[in-house]
Structure 1
């Protein structure tokens, strides 16, 4: 595993909703949309649609690609704890940068995160946490290999750096392994609306939908089954209208 550990420099940035994110020197991108905000992006593009899709399911297995600053994981826990009947949630997340994970113990999170400070500290120190309702496992394996070890995943937070700089986590081959790791009623949530990425998913029989709200920019959901709550994106029609659009290999 050691060969995958990397050293990256970061710059702290305040996003428009007041929450902090980081700029990565390795990928030359921020971890979150500055305009949408770290909290709003996590909630509206990932957590709300995922938990709403599985509102009647009491045990969820979530793949968080990649852990980064942990907003998706930590806000999932906070939302779950707000419920009168919390779910049992297991979260599996790859992250190559062990130094980043260690630094989360002192990262300036929103005040809402104070109630789960112990969870943050344990993940930063041990890469693992478990209680009655939550189990969190952070792995330093390459995400492409890590997903091959998983099964029965209900939700995928597809939140890697963009395909411009992190192409390997947006390919047809990658989504083939995501398909194998996920249940038939699973959902993939992602911030990107890239046609190339959507084609990579649709090549693996995922049905593509677009979500819009007043808080953030448009984003994408992908399912194995037909949905009626969201705007369907016909990828076959997209290919006919845009001959230059290709899936990523």
Structure 2
């Protein structure tokens, strides 16, 4: 799993002040931007949000939608993208399509890049699914699967050389080819995504995605992240 990557492209530079301003405008007589010099500092704004908006689980999460963060997510298997886009989470994705981006598969077939940079296979080990089924994924099993990936890459290369379109040739690839994507969250939708996908019965690869998103949340909006960690993280309390 060490190929998985999450990097921040951009984000609201003062998310807790931004949320504070939205919250404050809800009940303020004034045009709140004219009071900007009297807004609490970023750290203090986070404390105010926790106290007035989040504590007590009042459910008023609208102001959290004014803070945005955009991530570049890399090297995750296609199954993660499928699960990430399931349920109404209120985010925007732009995803490597495999209609125009197949050269790396041909390069792997030719031995120019590591096959596992293109295809994802789970690590060897003991597994337990959501229905309680236990099984062992062995080195022998994994070697067989990796060989199937190699054969699929070779066939893909043959199809491209024969003039096939990438969108046609991709049909013979293993399901879990790796995809990169850009995803944008509001702070509210980021919390909702973590609610859904950080729980222990989620797909293990998407749990790893949550693990990589989490430090960025902590750095970006620390007071809110601290509250979230103590009240919601890993508890599957849905739809803030």
Higher strand share: 1
Q: Into which bin does the TM-score normalised by the smaller protein fall?
A: under 0.3
Bigger relative contact order, structure 1 or 2 (CA pairs below 8 A, ≥6 apart): 2
Larger-gyration structure (1/2): 2
TM-score by length of 1: 0.27
Higher helix share: 2
TM-score by length of 2: 0.28
